[in-house]
């Protein structure tokens, strides 16, 4: 006998109607839980933000699109100014859309916490070296969350901060807050919005366990980081505002650095379609001050985003999405293609590889891989290492490596087990050697541009001539550089 909605086969049957209802209810429960988490986090945002920001200090000395320690004008953005710009855009949009403004602000202000020296070039180079050694890939969006969760125990740190300000809170309430914190980390991990310029919808079925799996896969599967969506509309907003922030300022930075002579050609055509007038373009070119034009583009895009978005989807209208796609393509063709021609990419990957080997050798020969897993709990051993090895430019490395704990150690074991057993060296690298190399790579990824250059020069891996080679190619001539005025922000009137 058949009953509607039920398939029977002897004693085994499935109630498909009931199963569908359960699945629908489960999705709704996930969404409700995420919304509840956002409400909780909004209440404690003032305590949460400083805890995460304390691990984001070096962003002021990390490159955006161009190499920071070679910039000639000091006007180009760094990671700190970029993150602050994204935060400003996100606050405006989140308020207009009725989202959790404070939570979105935390995500935005720290979304690039995992970036390393030399910007996306450094990310690409260290990924190439890691892949060559059979270590998986480096992705900035997931490196920050990985370090925060597994090395720095960020959830416990935040709860300690909240407990110190709110001693009246019960452990049950503190645990409730702790179970919500993954939502903020997810906004950081899922911010790679380059996969689309049109719209991003939140994945409301995601859980904390799902986030942890995504972090792992970002380190083991090339390109996986571009396939994931945030769990929240706040996270989707950060991803879209990230693109809105950097697209016009990639052009601006390149103008200041001499990679582009002026706003002209395809860039000028696109800006006219954004509503920038010919007079505004001419004035920007005459004064060599381009920020006002870029900001006007951002405002136009942000208005479109606000008008076309909801809690279910963060979106631009199709016309604006197409225009931004063309803008980014023009940047790629006119800026980054030219930069890649000038960039001496033979210098830095070799330096990264040599430094990874140097620090891996120190781990294996001087520290001992078996000591790493619990080294953070052995303060006497850590002190002896600082005394014997923590000298000169290696002091920061010893400080970093003595902070290793079970969490980050076990994550790396699992990650390297997923990657595979072979490398491009033509021979197998032992698992212990891979672990040492991975910790060395992790340390290098924490450095800012200046720290990396200082260490590489100290170890005689990069010469002084190498370190300034690109700068000389970027400069058109000393006379032309001297023609660029030092434009200050006016106190009144039009800029």
Say which CATH number the domain at 184 has. 1.10.3210.10
Q: Which helix (H) or strand (E) holds 428?
A: none
pLDDT digits (tens, 9 = 90+) for 77-86: 888 999 999 9
Query: Do residues 175 and 234 both lie within one domain?
Result: yes
- Give φ, ψ of 12 to 5 degrees: -105, 125
Most confident of 372-376, 422-426, 464-468: 372-376
Query: Do residues 104 and 171 both lie within one domain?
Result: yes
C-alpha distances out from residue 309 to 199, 228, 230, Å: 9, 19, 15
Confidence check: pLDDT of 165 > 80: yes
Q: Report yes or no: 419 and 136 within 8 Å, Cβ to Cβ.
A: yes
The least confident of 71-80, 280-289, 301-310, 413-422 is 71-80
Give residue 31's pLDDT. 84
Q: Report yes or no: 133 and 425 within 8 Å, Cβ to Cβ.
A: yes
Give residue 22's pLDDT. 42
Domain boundary among 318, 342, 366: 342
d(CA 59, CA 73): 19
Name the percent of the chain lying above pLDDT 70.
80
Query: Do residues 320 and 400 both lie within one domain?
Result: no
Structural domains counted in the chain: 2
Query: Do residues 122 and 82 both lie within one domain?
Result: yes
More confident residue, 251 or 71: 251
d(CA 392, CA 454): 11
Confidence check: pLDDT of 342 > 70: no
Query: Do residues 275 and 382 both lie within one domain?
Result: no
Confidence check: pLDDT of 156 > 50: yes
**Residue 8, SS3?**
strand
Query: Is 408 a member of any domain?
Result: yes
Q: Which helix (H) or strand (E) holds 322?
A: helix 318-331
Query: Is 125 a member of any domain?
Result: yes
pLDDT digits (tens, 9 = 90+) for 97-108: 999 999 999 999
Query: Is 46 a member of any domain?
Result: yes
Query: Do residues 338 and 351 both lie within one domain?
Result: no
Query: Do residues 305 and 397 both lie within one domain?
Result: no
d(CA 232, CA 108): 13
Q: CB-based contacts of 328: which residues, under 8 Å, 6+ apart? A: 197, 243, 247
Query: Do residues 51 and 83 both lie within one domain?
Result: yes
The least confident of 32-46, 64-78, 259-273, 353-367 is 64-78
Confidence check: pLDDT of 204 > 60: yes
CB burial of 296-307 (b: ≥16 within 10 Å; e: otherwise) equals bbbebbbbbbbe
Domain boundary among 323, 342, 361: 342
> At how many degrees (to 10) do helices 265-273 and 318-331 cross?
160
pLDDT digits (tens, 9 = 90+) for 430-465: 899 999 999 999 999 999 888 888 898 888 888 766
Confidence check: pLDDT of 470 > 80: no
Domain boundary among 342, 371, 386: 342
CB burial of 28-55 (b: ≥16 within 10 Å; e: otherwise) equals eebbebbbebbebbbebbebbbebbeeb
Give residue 18's pLDDT. 53
Q: Which helix (H) or strand (E) holds 383?
A: helix 379-388
Confidence check: pLDDT of 305 > 70: yes
d(CA 242, CA 448): 21
Angle at 476 (CA atoms; ends 471, 480), nearest 5 degrees:
120
Query: Is 315 a member of any domain?
Result: yes
Query: Do residues 333 and 370 both lie within one domain?
Result: no
C-alpha distances out from residue 422 to 126, 228, 473, Å: 18, 27, 39
| Domain that includes residue 140, residue range | 41-342
Query: Is 9 a member of any domain?
Result: no
Give residue 467's pLDDT. 60
Query: Is 6 a member of any domain?
Result: no
Query: Do residues 334 and 354 both lie within one domain?
Result: no
Query: Is 35 a member of any domain?
Result: no
pLDDT digits (tens, 9 = 90+) for 366-397: 999 888 888 888 888 888 888 888 788 899 99
Query: Is 5 a member of any domain?
Result: no
Query: Do residues 161 and 182 both lie within one domain?
Result: yes
Confidence of residue 4 (pLDDT cuts 50, 70, 90): very low
Query: Do residues 47 and 151 both lie within one domain?
Result: yes
**Which pairs count as long-range contacts for 487-490, CB under 8 Å and 24+ apart, including other chains?**
487/287, 487/288, 487/289
């Amino acid at each position: 006998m058949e009953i509607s909605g039920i398939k029977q086969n002897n004693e085994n049957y499935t109630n498909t109607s009931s199963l569908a209802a359960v699945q629908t209810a489960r999705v709704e429960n996930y969404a409700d839980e995420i919304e509840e988490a956002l409400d909780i986090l909004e209440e404690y945002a003032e305590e949460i933000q400083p805890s995460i920001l304390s691990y984001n200090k070096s962003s002021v000395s990390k490159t955006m699109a161009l190499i920071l320690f070679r910039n000639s004008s000091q006007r180009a953005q760094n990671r700190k100014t970029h993150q602050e710009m994204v935060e400003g855009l996100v606050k405006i949009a989140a308020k207009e859309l009725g989202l959790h403004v404070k939570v979105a602000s935390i995500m935005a202000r720290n979304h690039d916490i995992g970036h390393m020296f030399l910007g996306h070039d450094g990310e690409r180079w260290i990924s190439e070296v890691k892949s060559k050694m059979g270590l998986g890939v480096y992705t900035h969006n997931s490196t920050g969350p990985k370090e925060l969760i597994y090395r720095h125990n960020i959830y416990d740190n935040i709860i300690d901060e909240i407990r110190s300000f709110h001693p009246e809170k019960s452990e049950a309430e503190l645990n409730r807050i702790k179970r919500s914190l993954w939502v903020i980390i997810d906004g950081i991990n899922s911010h790679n919005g380059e996969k689309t310029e049109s719209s991003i919808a939140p994945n409301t079925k995601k859980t904390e366990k799902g986030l942890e799996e995504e972090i792992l896969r970002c380190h083991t599967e090339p390109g996986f980081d571009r396939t994931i969506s945030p769990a929240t509309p706040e996270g989707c907003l950060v991803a879209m505002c990230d693109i809105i922030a950097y697209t016009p300022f990639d052009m601006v930075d390149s103008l200041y650095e001499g990679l582009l002579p002026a706003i002209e050609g395809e860039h000028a055509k696109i800006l006219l379609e954004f509503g920038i007038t010919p007079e505004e373009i001419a004035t920007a070119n005459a004064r060599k001050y381009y920020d006002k034009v870029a900001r006007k583009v951002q405002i136009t895009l942000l208005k479109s985003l606000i008008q076309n978005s909801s809690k279910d989807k963060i979106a631009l209208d199709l016309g604006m999405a197409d225009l931004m796609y063309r803008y980014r393509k023009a940047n790629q063709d006119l800026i980054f293609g030219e930069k890649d021609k000038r960039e001496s990419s033979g210098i830095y990957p070799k330096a990264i590889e040599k430094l990874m080997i140097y620090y891996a050798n120190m781990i294996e020969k001087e520290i001992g891989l078996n000591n790493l897993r619990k080294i953070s709990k052995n303060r006497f051993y850590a002190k002896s290492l600082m005394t014997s090895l923590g000298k000169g430019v290696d002091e920061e490395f010893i400080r970093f490596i003595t902070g290793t704990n079970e969490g980050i150690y076990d994550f790396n074991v699992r990650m390297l087990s997923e990657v595979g057993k072979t490398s491009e060296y033509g021979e197998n690298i032992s698992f212990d050697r891979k672990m040492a190399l991975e910790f060395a790579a992790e340390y290098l990824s924490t450095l800012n541009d200046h720290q990396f250059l200082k260490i590489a020069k100290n170890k005689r891996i990069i010469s002084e001539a190498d370190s300034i080679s690109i700068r000389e190619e970027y400069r058109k001539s000393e006379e032309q550089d001297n023609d660029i005025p030092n434009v200050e922000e006016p106190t009144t009137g039009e800029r």
